[in-house]
Structure 1
Amino acid sequence: YMSYWLHSKSSTAEWQRYIQTQSTKAIDKGSLWSLAILSFLAVFREGTETVLFFIGMASSIKLPTLLTGIAIGLVLLIVLSYLILKVGLKIPMRPFFLVSSVLMFYLCFKFAGMGIHGLQLAGLLPATQAPIPTIDFFAVYSTWESVIPQIILLIVAVVAMVWNKKKDKKAKLQQTNQGESKHAL
């Protein structure tokens, strides 16, 4: 779902509409506290999901590698924060959300394969061999029980991508029509 949400926000028009609607609702309620709470919850939710991903991966990563990754992430965060706050760097939202959605999908796809494979190794799920090669980078294992959920995820992602493309085209068409009607007046 997170990958779908990020991909759906990669449309600049859709993202602007979403932000405007949410902030307008918060301000219309008569208080900036609503807007502050909305902002906090959005950031807190993202942070919680990131922590959950790290907890799931931490047991399979050596401590020096984990700490190095955290350090690199912190350095990048500090540099990016400085560039945004002090230099005025504008992050292009469409590429940012597209890359984020691809990364989230990759993690979801891999965690699904790794989770099912782990349950199979523990003897909690059956393992029916499939004529598929094992690809560790994507956590694709040669059992139907692990591949079928990953295929379903892939189908859902493609359907969501096509649906978002259609929504994006429709939003652009509406913006064009609104712009033409304003110029006609």
Structure 2
Amino acid sequence: MTAIYLIGLREGLEITLVVSILVAFLVKSGRQHLLRWAWAGVAAATLLAVLVAALLQAGTAYLSGPNRELVDGIASLIAVVFVTFMIFWMRRMARQLARELRGRLEDAIEVGPFAVAAMAFLAVAREGLETAILFFAAAQGADTWQPIVGISLGVATSVVLGWLLYASAIRINLTKFFTWTGALLVLVAAGIFKYGVHDLQEANILPGRTDYAFDLTGVLPPTAWYAELLRGLFNFTPQPSVLETAVWVAYGVPVLVLFLLPLVRKPAPAAVRP
């Protein structure tokens, strides 16, 4: 649930920032009559994300055995691609996100109300679909109620933070926020990658399911709270296969270094404000 909470917080705050930028621009430019169109686009994008998440969950509920493991493994690998793209894209776009959104909205206003709704839909839909896929991949193997609680708490926290930012009640250095949550998400993605490989091994697509890299079950009992925390956040298991361990390290280490490298080269830019 910890990893899913982080996904909900990170993705939810991105969505909240996008919405607050759009709303603030319409309000400050005296175009409040277009707010209902913007909210209609946001609502449609939210509904699409929920439907995709529900369809993914429902679609795999009827699968079992190797077929279920194969689908879960493929979904995990797709989620890794999404989260990797997302964190690097957000790091690059953080400084100019507000300017770009305002420019797109200004162009949409010139076309008409439907274009405003479509622009809001597209701006939120990308983040929403990413959230749905990441949620599905991270929720594999968890108890039925935990993923829902985790994503709900994460999104609720992001909405509160977004509203406080919009109301100027608090100030957050969003560049630092997205940098450090991005670093954590790299480790979460490494865990999802590892889980995907494990599923493909269970589906007999990849070899080496019983070739274990190490065995820490005596030190980290699977039922212990700290073992559950490590498994929930980083998908760390006391007895991983050699291939699982190899892909975790091969992805997690270089991607984390590449993501954090700009912090060494130059100071962090100013925070983004809606």
TM over 0.5: yes
**Shift of the alpha carbon at 1:148?**
1.9
* 1:59 CA drift (Å): 4.6
Q: Which runs of 5 or more structure 1 residues have no equivalent in the other structure?
A: 173-185
Bigger Rg over Cα: 1
Q: 1:143 aligns with which of 218, 237, 241?
A: 241
The aligned amino acid for 1:139 is: N
- How many Å apart are 1:116 and its aligned residue? 0.9
Q: What is the rounded CA distance, in whole Å, between the counterparts of 2:148 and 2:260 in structure 1?
A: 39
Match of 1:182 in 2: none
1:50-86 deviation digits (Å, cap 9, x = unpaired): 1112222445232333333344234324422432233
Q: 1:118 deviation in Å?
A: 1.9
> What is the distance in 2 between the residues matched to 1:130 and 1:69?
31
For residue 122 of structure 2, what is the amino acid of its counterpart? L
Q: Which amino acid aligns with 1:129?
A: D
Between the aligned partners of 2:181 and 2:119, the Cα distance in structure 1 is 21
- CA 1:4–1:49 in 2, change beyond 3 Å: closer, same or farther? closer
Per the normalisation by structure 1, the TM-score is 0.64
Contact preservation (8 Å) 2:191, 2:235: yes
Query: What secondary structure, in the 3-state scheme, does the structure 1 residue paired with 2:95 have?
Result: helix
In structure 1, what is the equivalent of residue 45 of structure 2? none
SS at match of 2:266: helix
Kept in 2: contact 1:4–1:157 (CA 8 A): no
Alignment of 1:16 with 2:95, yes or no, is yes
What is the root-mean-square deviation in Å for CA atoms of aligned residues?
3.7
> Given the alignment, which residue of 23, 28, 31 partners 2:107?
31
Q: Is 1:113–2:194 an aligned residue pair?
A: yes
2:252 aligned partner, one-letter code: L
- Give identity over the alignment, percent: 19
From 139, 155, 166, the counterpart of 1:85 = 166
Matched, 1:6 2:82: no
Quick check: 1:10–1:95 contact (8 Å CA) kept in 2?
Answer: no
CA shift for structure 1 position 48: 0.8
Give the TM-score of the pair, scaled to structure 2.
0.47
Would you say 1:61 and 2:142 are equivalent positions?
A: yes
Per-residue deviation, 1:105 = 0.9
Q: Which runs of 5+ in 2 are unaligned?
A: 1-80, 217-226, 270-274
Number of aligned residue pairs: 166
Is it true that 1:168 corresponds to 2:266 in the alignment?
yes
Corresponding position of 1:43: 124
Distance in 2 of aligned mates of 1:4 and 1:19:
19
The structure, 1 or 2, with the larger RCO (C-alpha pairs under 8 Å, 6+ apart) is 2
Cα separation, 2, equivalents of 1:9 and 1:56: 21
Counterparts of 2:95 and 2:254, CA distance in 1: 25
